[in-house]
Structure 1
Amino acid sequence: MLKNLYRLIISKLPKKYRLALTYFRIFGVFPNIENPQNFNEKVLNRILYDKDSQFSLLADKYAVRAYVQEKIGEDYLIPLILCTENPDDLYGMDQWEKIVIKPNHGAGMVKIIDDVPSSREKDYIIEQAQRWLKLDFSQVCDEWHYSLIQPKLVVEQKITSEGEALRDYKFHRFTTDNGDFKQLLQVVAERSEKGYETVFFDVNNLDSILHSPFGFQLTLNAYEQMRIREIVKLNEVLCNEYDYVRLDWYITQQSIYFGEITFTPGAGRSKSFAGSFGEKIGQLWVMQ
């Protein structure tokens, strides 16, 4: 009951106060949105004041494929099986094994399928997909640009082999005062009983962890490091008009694949950027 009352009160507040209050619930202090200093505060400032219409195009997991193909080529795109606005179209797919189903307009919604599901399981998957497409993801954390994305289902080929773990390689790219790029790598592994497994590296020193917000330890092997250096160069071609952007990639045993583009990581309320680390990262973001 109290949760429902809280949500009702929050929904009635002006957006600025809603962002501040939800930030306070996580960190115990109110953010400085007007004169942001740490990384999360700068994300909140972007959410509130930066209305660049390109955010919606580039955050769209389907539409961004054309942009990436134009900039760096189609070889880096995960093979596409289907894109549709009608979940019932999934029934007509010839391929149901080794696929990934997700919507194009949000985060945290994904179905990984290894083996062909039964008819009943397909029904459940399609019902779940229908719920995804009805969700206005912009209302979840006040990230306005998701409201301009026409919801679609994207079905892609599963890019990992059996037993192969898939990590997210998230490159936080900042534009410096002299126009050069500074990139920090955030590697996200699977969740465990210990918490969220994520660590940060400076792309110029991949042998040492820069920051581990939750104590997770990770060593990047020689193959990963080679692929990361390749991605760093590709990132310099993408979205280079922005003072900050996050560019996500996947590294498999055979190749590298583009993942997505994010302009408001963690919706400005990520514990990965808490404390002094968030303040240091905030200094890298020279807001225009």
Structure 2
Amino acid sequence: MIKILKRLYRRSSLIYMLLHPIKISYNFLYYRIMPNKIIIKRNYKKVFGTKINLDNPVTLNEKINWLKLHDRSDLHTLCADKFAVREHIKNKIGKEFLVPLILQTEDVKDITEDNIPDYPVIIKTNHDSSGGIIIRNKENIDFFYVRKKLNKLMKRNYYTYSLEWQYKNIKPCVIVEKLLIDKNGGIPFDYKVHCFNGKAITVQVDLNRGTENHARNWYDLNWKREPFWWSSVKKCGTVTDPSDKDVKKPENFELMLKLSEKLAGDFIYVRVDWYEVNGFLYFGELTFHHDSGMRPIYPRKWDKILGEKLRLS
């Protein structure tokens, strides 16, 4: 019966209209009443098909979920805040690695055509993982729609559904940054350095992010392909796979690793994101629970192999 309702929910607009408010209410209550540990156990079983071991975690995904419950500090909150972290980055490694900031506001009414420059920008909130709104030509943009979307995001607490505590107490705001563009006018590759106990372990490269061609390659510290990949979900709903296209080693790769480890020194696990544009390195963000610890690693044995490299104490 439940499977039939789920199928109808996805395929029938009438059933969707009837059931969607019920689903919203259920999720609202479920994530606010149920203990975090129970929700994590249920979500993990749904994704992996096995029970999670939170008492003695072994795999990398198990350990990331353990960290969600037990590794919480004010520094995590500060560094998860996409606006506040800028000061932290300036003090730690230097302001030259920051993407140029155009505007920061707590009022979405400030996001108007007059306040947006003539060059490409990205508009995003500081407190969640929404990705942002890209504006290449402001004359083609419906700013009423932009403000409406931002207003909805401002009311959302990402912690409620991800259970990633660092997002819980961030004061929401909107930031506008210069859009980084490669020499072909496209969005540059997203380099993500996964650090365990202050040391760089592996590098994830996202290609064509936000499109149906989104792919994710994995490289070791010598820029050789890793024998594993950590899956994710594309915008269209399918799972990402590694690309047949090999990615050239970044010009500033050694500096990227050095700076990542400097930023990672305060944390058990952190993913440090970077962009490289025209020979310059730009900091992206710090992430403490990659994909919330809810995406399989293939081949599956590598979840345990990588987990053995991460010390929780």
Do these two structures clear the TM 0.5 threshold for a shared fold by scoring above it? yes
Aligned counterpart, 1:105: 127
- Please give the alpha-carbon distance, in whole angstroms, between the structure 2 residues aligned to 1:201 and 1:67: 28
Question: Which of 288, 303, 311 is residue 263 of structure 1 equivalent to?
Answer: 288
| 1:9 shift after superposition | 7.5
Shift of 1:245: 1.2
Q: Secondary structure at the match of 1:238?
A: helix
TM-score scaled by structure 2? 0.82
Secondary structure of the 2:262 match is coil
Q: Which moved more, 1:185-194 or 1:238-247?
A: 185-194
Instruction: State the alpha-carbon separation in 1 of the partners of residues 185 and 264 from structure 2.
Output: 34
Looking at structure 1, the residues matched to 179 and 196 of structure 2 have their Cα atoms a distance apart, in angstroms, of 31
Which residue is equivalent to 2:224? 207
Between the two proteins, the alignment pairs up a number of residues equal to 279
- Equivalent-residue separation in structure 1 for 2:134 and 2:290 (angstroms): 23
Q: Distance in 2 between matches of 1:209 and 1:83?
A: 39
Distance change (3 Å), C-alpha of 1:131 and 1:97: farther
Q: 2-side partners of 1:64 and 1:115: how far apart?
A: 28
Q: In the TM superposition, what is the alpha-carbon distance from 1:251 to its structure 2 partner?
A: 1.3
Of 173, 181, 206, 1:188 maps to: 206
Q: Cα distance, 1:190 vs. partner?
A: 2.2
- Counterparts of 1:63-212 in structure 2 under 5 Å? 63-91=84-112, 92-118=114-140, 121-161=142-182, 163-175=185-197, 181-191=199-209, 193=212, 196-203=214-221, 205-212=222-229
Report the Cα distance in structure 2 between the residues aligned to 1:135 and 1:273, rounded to whole angstroms: 32
Matches of 2:255 and 2:278, distance apart in 1: 15
Q: Which residue is 2:51 aligned to?
A: 30
1:210 to partner: Cα distance: 3.8
Aligned-pair distance for 1:193? Answer: 4.3
RMSD, aligned CA: 2.3
Query: Quick one: distance in 2 between partners of 1:56 and 1:174?
Result: 19
The aligned counterpart of 1:216 is: 243
Q: Distance in 2 between matches of 1:241 and 1:65?
A: 16
Instruction: Using the TM superposition, give the Cα deviation of residue 168 of structure 1 relative to its aligned residue in structure 2, in angstroms.
Output: 1.2
9 and 86 in structure 1: CA distance in 2 versus 1, 3 angstrom threshold: closer
Q: Contact conserved, 1:109 with 1:132, CA < 8 A, in 2?
A: no
For 2:80, the equivalent position in structure 1 comes to: 59
- Distance in 2 between the 1:84 and 1:17 partners? 37
Matched residue SS, 2:138: coil
**TM-aligned CA distance change 1:94 to 1:199, over 3 Å:** closer
Equivalence for 2:41: 20
> Aligned-pair distance for 1:7?
3.5
Instruction: Give deviations 1:198-254, integer Å, cap 9, x for gaps.
Output: 121111x203344235243342325x1x32222111122213122221111111233
- The answer to whether the 8 Å contact 1:96/1:113 transfers is no
**In structure 2, what is the Cα distance between the partners aligned to 1:159 and 1:215?**
24
TM-score, with length taken from structure 1: 0.89
